[in-house]
Every structure is written in structure tokens, then in C-alpha cells.
Amino acid sequence: MKIRLTQTVQKGGCAAKISAEVLRETLGSLDFSSADPAVMIDGRDFDDAGIYRVSEHLALVQTLDFFTPIVDTPELFGAIASANALSDVYAMGGIPKTCMAILAFPLATLDPALMREVLEGARKKIAESGSTLIGGHSIDDDTLKFGLSVTGFVHPGRIWSNSGSRPGDRLILTKPLGTGTLTAGLKNQDYDEEGIREALDSMSQLNSVPTLLTDEELCLIHSATDITGFGLAGHLQQMSRASGVGFHLRFREIPVFNKAFASLQAENLTKAHRSNESYTQGSIHYESGLDPIEKKILFDPQTSGGLLLSVPGAKAVDLLHKIQARFPRASIVGEVHEASAPGTPEIRLHD
């Protein structure tokens, strides 16, 4: 009998993350600053990865990400978990170089042969990125969990972070939204994997935007983040707070997977849909009519979602066309403005 991995866990993918609200309340008082001047980016702005300068021309990008199964096929789970972890390096403008695997496996309930399948999916995706799996660690646990610790390289002068958006920039989103509700539908058996193939292919796709751009174009990315478990709204709020700017989004320009609204209507939801909405309720302002289902897509927890890039307005269309060669549904979804109240995150939604 074939094991459906999504039936072995209560929650899967980035929807299993501890909510941003809880993290800020719990960790906000911790001092993440370092006396080491080589630390260029740490945890203070909830960025996607840390940056450590090695020399005038080289800095290390370091990140770690793991989660429970979001799909039923072991090899596909390994590929998606790996693409998701590698994404944090790309979101900083870097190129991944080495990976270490993190594996928790329930030996009492699952066939150990499944470990090989998960790792085979990871191995293929890591090889596709041009990086190398150099080791890892495993434990016997009650539920399957898998992910990677990734180290990448970036030039210290071409680092992307979530704190550099400038008024006049335009926002490019590289992948559609909806993985949270569609994979919840998979777990609820409203869909099988083939029925949400569009979303699975997107989650498996590497966010390798930096490899598409020249050195000059890399410097045009003023700010960046990848859209994962906190949803588009949550990650926009973090970028707004870190950059000290406000965002105006055009809802109809936001790319969404074909079945996502129907899945939300069918109430294929996760706890993260509610926590993401709660986290951003003071920042989002609706300036045109959106129905409740449309609003939910803003809080949908993405797994291996797209990159959100803040780029100069005059260069946005040219950069979009270049990105669309690999991410055909990439779209300009909004603009950056001066914040109405300095220090207060602001996201305004237009039709």
C-alpha cells in the first residue's frame, strides 16, 4: 500500500512555521547584533539569510530551512524542500555552493527506504542549482521532517536584503500565489498531485533569478525577499517595516494559480491563513472592494513561493521581461511610496 505522506502529519510545508506574530512577540527583545564587523546581515530585520563578509569581493550567505511533508510523493517532497531552502540564498542575491541535509524520520511507522527517495529528490534539485550536498544529520523522530542548511556566495557590494526598497520603485513578483490552499486541498483529498501539478511544478522550480542578471542588473535590485509561510501580506509587512516605506499593490496584477480561489472557497485552509491575517491586520488597507475569498490569497502561506523584488521604476519593465524568460507568470504587482507614518508598515490594496 502506497503511503500518502501528507496523511502522516498535522501540517505541512511552510504552513508549519511558527507564526510571525509569535516570533516577533517572543524574540523581539533578543539582541541579534554582533560585535564582529564582518557580520553584514543578521536576524534583526527577519531577513531571509545571514551574510558574513570574507573579503572585499566575497561574502557568505547562510540559511537553514526544513519542514514536514507538503506532498505525498517522497522524491517530490525532497525536491520541494530543497528548492525552498535554496531560495533563501537566491533571495539575498547569492549563488548556493554547499548544502547540509537535516532529516527527522519516524522509523517506527515508515519504511526506511523512503529516506532514500526523499534524499534522491534533494540530490537532483541541489545538483540542478550547481551546489553540492556535502553531508548532514538525521534523527529518529515521530514525524518526517526534511530540509537543508545552505551556504552561498555573494559579492558584498551586490547583496539583496528586505530593507532597501525606495519610493518610486516597482514591485515584481516572480511566481503565482496559492500553494497553501492547494496543498491543504491535497491533504484534505480534494485534489491529487496531478490535479495541482501547476503549483507543484512552481514549488519545485529554483528561484534562481540572480543567475539571469548581469552584475549591473543585480545592483538594480534595491530590495528582495522570498514569499513563504507568512504569505504575501506578511512578507510585504516585514519589507515595509525594514525599508521604512509603504507599498501600493494592484490586486488584479497579482498572479494566482488557476484553482486557488476555488480551493479557498472550498475552505482548504491552514492555521497560517488565520495567523498571517492577524499578523498584518494593522498594516493592510483596502482601497477597493475585494471579497473575503480574494483577501485570503494575500495570507496564503506559500512554500517555495516566488521572489518579491523592489526595482527602479524606469528599469522595471526591462527587468520583468528578462525574468519572464524563466518565470513566465512574473508580474509587476505594485509600487513603493513614502510611508504615511514613519516606522509603521503600510500596504494599500487597489483593484
With H, G, I as helix, E, B as strand and everything else as coil, classify residue 228. Answer: coil
Contact call for residues 324 and 330 (beta carbons, < 8 A): yes
Question: Which residue type, as a one-letter code, is found at position 266?
Answer: A
Cα–Cα nearest to 307, from 336, 333, 276: 333
Residue type, 159: I
Contact 225, 238 (CB under 8 A): yes
Q: What are phi and psi of 123, to 5 degrees?
A: -60, -45
Q: Is 87 helix (H, G, I), strand (E, B) or coil?
A: helix
Exactly one of 9, 11, 12, 14 is catalytic; which is it? 14
Cell 523512503 -> residue? 114
Strand pairing partners for 169?
Answer: 312
Distance (Å, whole) CA 46 – CA 57 = 25
Task: Decide: 209 and 217 in contact? Cβ < 8 Å.
Answer: no
Q: Where do we find the cell 531552502?
A: 85
Scanning the structure block, which residue is given the C-alpha cell 534533494?
A: 122
Task: Kindly state the DSSP code that residue 40 receives in the 8-state scheme.
Answer: E
Length of the chain: 351
The DSSP symbol for 177 reads B
Contact, 164 vs 157, CB < 8 A?
no
> Is 99 a residue of the active site?
no
Tell me how far apart the alpha carbons of residues 236 and 335 are, in angstroms, rounded to a whole number: 12
3-state secondary structure of 141: coil
Positions marked active-site: 14
